[in-house]
Amino acid sequence: MHKEVKSIELNYRTLESLVEDNSLFQKADGTKEEVAKYNNSLHPPLLEIEPDKIAPPYLHILLGIVLKHHKLLENAAHAIDKKIISLSEDYLTDLGKIVKEYGAEWRQAQKLQSQLEFEHGCLAFSEAEEDIRHYRAEKEKTEHKLSHLHHTELKPRIGPVAASLDNILTKHRITPQAYHSKSFVGNHCHKYMTAEVYKALTQTIVTQTQACTINPLLIDEAFQVKLLYDDLNDAFSKVHTAISHSKSIKEESVKDIQTLIDNYMALYRRQFPKKTFPKQHILECHCIPHITQYKLGLGLLGEQGTESNHQTIYLEKFRARGIINSTQKLKHIMTAHLVNILSSLTL
């Protein structure tokens, strides 16, 4: 039975408290290991801006949460792969037996076995003596390779269940980066959070488990993984849709957004009570105050807004190409841009 998560009252930082914490940290000659004692105020503020005037970095929140979900899903898939290896052969399909016998070399073993079956068939139907000698020699080579293939430890993302996740990502053109813990770029995170993608990822876990074993308990575990991550991604996708935009937000909608965030965090904590991380803290504690104050989606004042400004300002610049005076042209571009993003603005 899960314990109820009690809400705590937060003391939000101010510019004054940041400066004071950093001053105390400097006076104590603290090290990075001790900076948590001073509310992580490692450096003095670069600019004298109150923290509540700074938009939560939603793009980084999105990247962090999607990566966390996917890593947890990979771990669940890898756990199933390891259980497949531990099963008795009575519960394994042909693919499952290959995985059990060869571990991380299962792909190569499967390829060699398929090649061996092909060569055996060719040998059986060959009539010319030259063809018989050729396929017999090829068959012996393949048998030799297979006999020297040994079981190696099954590492994460290598087993048939876990490896199928990468196949789904590739199919939807979602590419983990070679750096930043193999996270995804913003557009790929947005695509990941569509039901088409995250349900395909969870379905492949069920499909590949069934391809390896007939064990009802392990197949049921695969279905449980699917249900959990479908619910988790569905809950966060609703949050994502509600706040990842540049539109105005009505005051009565803020409570609905708060409910969506609370529902997502409650579901996450029930399953992973000790695996919350800073990006979720920002989502849970700092996004709603900012939305309440500015009545805008987090896509406008955050990183996405800055990036989208390049496109919208370029378009306004093209439209203003007939204005000769550079000052008047700039004024026209900025006025048009501000009116476009906030139609209620009075200039």
Which stretches of 183-275 are DSSP H helices? 186-192, 195-212, 216-243, 251-271
Burial class (CB in 10 A: 0-12, 13-18, 19+), 64: buried
pLDDT number for residue 4: 47
CB within 8 Å of 149: residues ≥ 6 apart? 102, 105, 108, 109, 112
CB within 8 Å of 68: residues ≥ 6 apart? 275, 277, 279
Which H or E element spans position 48? none
pLDDT tens per residue across all 347 residues of the chain: 444 444 556 678 889 999 999 999 988 877 888 888 888 888 898 888 888 888 899 999 999 999 999 999 999 999 999 999 999 999 999 999 999 999 999 999 999 989 999 998 998 898 898 989 998 999 999 999 988 888 899 999 999 999 999 999 999 999 988 776 778 988 899 999 999 999 999 999 999 999 999 999 999 999 999 999 999 999 999 999 999 988 899 999 999 999 999 999 999 999 999 888 889 999 999 999 999 999 989 987 777 666 667 777 888 899 999 999 999 999 999 888 888 767 665 55
Phi/psi of residue 248, nearest 5 degrees: -75, 150
pLDDT number for residue 180: 63
Residue 34 is classified by DSSP as G
Could you tell me how far CA 10 lies from the centroid of its own chain? 28
Of 44, 46, 163, nearest to 110 (Cα)?
Answer: 163
| Ranges of each domain in the chain | 15-53, 58-93+154-298, 106-149, 302-341
In order, the DSSP letters of 257-324 are: HHHHHHHHHHHHHHH-TT---HHHHHHHHTHHHHHHHH-B-HHHHSHHHHHHHHHHHHHHHHHTTT--
For Cα atoms 222, 170, 80, give the angle at the middle one, nearest 5 degrees: 20
pLDDT number for residue 5: 45
